[in-house]
Homo-oligomer: A and B are copies of this chain.
Amino acid sequence: MTDVVIQQHYNDETAVCYGCGKHNADGLHFQTHWDGTEGVGRFTPQAHHTAFPGVVYGGILASLIDCNSIGTAIAAMYDAEGQPYGAAPEITCVTGQLNVTYLKPTPLGVELVIRARVKELTPRKAIISSSVYAGETECVRGEVVAVRVPARQLEALRPRQE
Contacts and interface: CB of A to CB of B under 8 A. Distances in A.
Interface of A: 13-14, 16-19, 21, 24-27, 48-55, 57-60, 62-63, 66-67, 94-102, 104-107, 109-110, 134-135, 137, 139, 154-155, 157-162
Contacts of A13: 53
Given A25-B48, A94-B102, A105-B158, A53 B110 contact: no
B101 A50 contact: no
Name the residue among A51, A110, A158 with the largest chain B CB count within 10 angstroms. Answer: A51
Contacts of A66: 58-59, 62
Given A102-B95, A105-B157, A59 B53 contact: no
Q: What's the number of copies of this chain in the assembled complex?
A: 2
Contacts of A59: 18-19, 59-60, 62-63, 66-67
A162 B110 CA distance: 8
Contact of A50 (B17, B62, B135): B17
Contacts of A100: 62, 97-99
A126 B98 CA distance: 20
A102 to B, nearest CB: 6
A26 B46 CA distance: 10
A159 B97 CA distance: 29
